[in-house]
Chains A and B, each alone.
Chain A
């Protein structure tokens, strides 16, 4: 009787380990210095990264969670439908995300489908990721220009005090994007140092605040671009509901700002 052919090629454990370490190390060494370092892998960070990388710019996204996508997997009340207002649906179309019109001007898509397509679009564009990596501090240069970020393994935070002496490491970049949502972690670090003052975010609901988030997206400090909900925190804009159009458009605008600045040199 003929021996049954194995489906997978036999590979030893050590080869698997070498492949992981080698692949990770090569990418990490390459991206210790990048053109654009995005802190936060939610919808605005992904959108910014995707648009920048499409232009051939070396882009790394740092994400503290294992999963990429932030809150884009689910909509309000943990329901996995995400909504965008016009013209946000044009980006859904561009990314090949199916959607339907709920009412005039409002479109709804499946969260898992929308989020996975956005992540894939960023990957396809050439964005690289450092997930399970937490932002710790900013790297500053002459004139307090932001030129990178200090990061660490996310699990370090959860370790007992006796073994939390894991020093962080620094990544350098021409531009850093704060896409960390309401926390605005990067800007907050500048605030701690007395370099920049955030305004906290407005408590009153105003329907049109999505427009404001896009309008205010830009360079908050030399070398630091702010996108997404972090914009609300930095400039004290009113709260928004669970619609993602502003996140996508803000990410796109952040990318435009960076590309223009790079062009000017």
Chain B
């Protein structure tokens, strides 16, 4: 086995939360399977079929983990009833469009894991939740919270909103914004230099982020230092666009070799109608 591969998950399980604005999760699953030969499953809305009392409990948990001051270490809150009601409405609607609350990412991950059925969360599965909600994690270096695109673990979280908000836009964008220029005008001026909500490139870009979660499961290391590799840990929108769309290759030679080893070792799955390998199945409730 390639020395980067410590463990090969048996399946890639894809979950959704909220309106992902055109993100094609199935296409993403096909891509992952094509690259790894590990089969994928589509589970749809992560909260579907949960009993009323479970939803109520989850809503209460979510309402407690809002980060109000990014410069201060978060403490669990005592939510107001209106906050719990908001969370109930949010998780009860698979097409929920509203976001902007900053959730503490590690706690969010923990609560999401509680909503998954027994057996779904397993060391042998690479579970990924695609969400339109925004989560932050504490940075020990500058002692403040930062919005994130992804969070690795069981399950992995990938945020479509995080992809727009977390990697920094061009510096001049923020300077002009501080001077009062409306965001809409700035978006026109800097069009194409960063990803926006509902961006048609979202699916393509998130393929790389999904691969990062997979590498986390394979090796414990999701990132690559090569900015031309899709595993590059981008901090700027410009870097995201380069490494995910305009790099000189998809994966650097080292990671490409890992993927080849992986494909050679993983039993071939069934071919799909639309090309690629794997299978999709909608979770029965």
Contact = CB atoms under 8 A, between A and B. Distances in A.
Interface of A: 75-77, 79, 83, 85, 102-106, 196-197, 199-204, 206-209, 211-212, 215-216, 218-220, 234-238, 241-243
B99 to A, nearest CB: 6
A254 to B, nearest CB: 13
B101 interface: yes
Given A203-B69, A235-B82, A242 B184 contact: no
Contacts of B49: none
B190 to A, nearest CB: 13
Nearest to B66: A236
A211 B100 contact: yes
B214 interface: no
A212 B98 contact: yes
Interface string B181-224: 01111011000000001000000000000000000000000000
Interface stretch (B70-78, B247-255, B256-264): B70-78
Contacts of A199: 66, 68, 77, 80
Given A102-B185, A199-B68, 9 more contacts: A106-B185, A202-B67, A202-B68, A203-B68, A203-B70, A206-B100, A212-B98, A220-B82, A236-B66
Nearest to A210: B100
Nearest to A76: B180
Contact of B102 (A77, A206, A218, A234): A206
B80 A204 contact: no
A204 B184 contact: no
B100 A209 contact: yes
A200 B70 CA distance: 12
Contact residue range for chain B? 35 or more
B38 interface: no
B102 A202 contact: yes
A220 B99 CA distance: 20
B237 to A, nearest CB: 14
A214 to B, nearest CB: 9
Contacts of A77: 179-180
Interface string B76-92: 01101011001001000
17 contacts: A76-B180, A77-B180, A102-B182, A103-B182, A103-B184, A103-B187, A103-B188, A106-B182, A106-B185, A197-B80, A199-B66, A204-B102, A204-B145, A208-B100, A211-B97, A215-B86, A216-B83
Contacts of B185: 102-103, 106
Contacts of A200: 68-69
Contacts of B71: 203
Given A200-B68, A202-B69, A208 B99 contact: yes
B134 interface: yes
B102 A211 contact: no
State the 3 A-B residue pairs at the shortest beta-carbon distance, nearest first: A76-B180, A106-B184, A236-B68
B179 A218 contact: no
B8 interface: no
A235 to B, nearest CB: 6
Contacts of B134: 206
B147 interface: yes
A203 B83 CA distance: 18
Contacts of B145: 204
A104 B184 contact: yes
A27 B161 CA distance: 51
B84 to A, nearest CB: 11
A262 to B, nearest CB: 19
B104 interface: no
A200 B97 CA distance: 24
Given A206-B165, A216-B86, A238-B100, A201 B68 contact: yes
A204 B83 contact: no
B165 A207 contact: yes
Given A206-B165, A237-B101, A79 B180 contact: yes
